[in-house]
Amino acid sequence: MSLLGRTAYHALRRLGYELMSAGDYGRLRQEIEQLEHDRRELMAQVAGDYQVVMEYHEKKAAFRDAEPAFHALYERVAPFTMTSIERLYALYKAVEYVSKAEIPGDIVECGVWRGGSMMLAALVLAKLGDTKRRLWLYDTFEGLPKPDPGKDVDMWGNSQFNEWVKYRRSDESSELAYVPVEEVRRNMLSAGYPPEKVELVKGMVQRTIPAQHPREIALLRLDTDWYDSAVCELHHLYPRIAEGGVLIVDDYGHLQGQRQAIDEYFAAGDDFPLLQRIDYSGRLVIKRSRGQGARAKTAAGSAAE
């Protein structure tokens, strides 16, 4: 239910209780009749407007169309992630897909906060008995670093620097999204995935990824928010995604720097991937083939470095 819907619902409940405890059943009946009348009027107004009807069904379904198994895992990981239920569902299905379709490679997330998204990946893999893959979690584990004041702007035009600077610890750390590596390790351990298969790589991705990365990736999730880190992640990691592997981008619709990095990367190549919308912010790509474009060849060359 939307915030507006919830507020209206609670206001009506309160009114109902008040009228009932005052024994004012005549007024209560009137209010109910009025509401029923308004509802019928509203339905008549939108009849034939399938956009409104679909929106209504979407809200009413409230994700009940998803598998019960997803809901159980969602409840388990929701306190450990900032992403939406839509993005978590996309990740859930993507992990299931790479496992069942036997897409080779590791699972990688850049920008993990408390680790909730990777806990979900670990739980799905463990459930499927697919525990040979390595899970890579890249983060400063010291909060968000300095954004670019010009590029890292949200969809409403707010420069992220103005907020970040209030929480600054250094240019490479802040109180924003600060979660120590030990806490994330504990969270990951609780997911029951073999601990020796979980790599927590601490530091700025601009330094850690070029030095330490998987040879092959089945699923890559990008969520470090800022332009610079996204450029680095795409350059080093996208070419390592296996054919049929998945890229999930968080904040594409929310942060202009993240969108710019993705758009520039794909505009410079010849892959023309389908950036499938997950929700207003998330996007998903299934990589078609490894032999795509000059960039892929360059990366294949540098894989031997």
State the residues that interact with ligand SAM by CB under 6 A: 81-83, 109, 111-113, 116-117, 138-140, 143-145, 177, 204-206, 223-226, 229
Q: Which is nearer to ligand SAM, 48 or 156 (CB)?
A: 156
Smallest distance from the beta carbon of 108 to ligand SAM, in angstroms?
12
Query: Residues near 134 by Cβ (< 8 Å), separated by ≥ 6?
Result: 106, 107, 197, 198, 199, 214
Q: Which is nearer to ligand SAM, 151 or 292 (CB)?
A: 151
Cα Dmax for the chain: 81
Query: Which helix (DSSP H) or strand (DSSP E) does residue 87 occupy?
Result: helix 85-100
Q: Which is nearer to ligand SAM, 229 or 292 (CB)?
A: 229
Q: How far apart are CA 304 and CA 290, in angstroms?
A: 16
Q: Which is nearer to ligand SAM, 205 or 218 (CB)?
A: 205
Strand partners, 109: 137, 221
Query: Residues near 34 by Cβ (< 8 Å), separated by ≥ 6?
Result: none
Give yes or no for a contact between 286 and 246, defined as CB atoms under 8 angstroms apart.
Answer: yes
Which of left, alpha, beta for 154 (phi over 0: left; psi -120 to 50: alpha)?
Answer: beta
Smallest distance from the beta carbon of 161 to ligand SAM, in angstroms?
13
Q: How far apart are CA 241 and CA 88, in angstroms?
A: 20
Q: Which is nearer to ligand SAM, 130 or 152 (CB)?
A: 152
Q: How far apart are CA 233 and CA 221, in angstroms?
A: 10
**Token pair in block for residue 247:** 């890229």
Q: Which is nearer to ligand SAM, 96 or 228 (CB)?
A: 228
Smallest distance from the beta carbon of 115 to ligand SAM, in angstroms?
7
Smallest distance from the beta carbon of 173 to ligand SAM, in angstroms?
8
Please classify residue 87 by burial: count the beta carbons closer than 10 Å to its beta carbon, then call 0-12 exposed, 13-18 middle and 19+ buried: buried
Smallest distance from the beta carbon of 264 to ligand SAM, in angstroms?
17
Smallest distance from the beta carbon of 290 to ligand SAM, in angstroms?
26
Q: Which is nearer to ligand SAM, 96 or 225 (CB)?
A: 225
Smallest distance from the beta carbon of 80 to ligand SAM, in angstroms?
7
Query: Which helix (DSSP H) or strand (DSSP E) does residue 283 occupy?
Result: strand 283-286
Q: How far apart are CA 140 and CA 112, in angstroms?
A: 9
Q: Which residue is nearest to ligand SAM (CB)?
A: 111
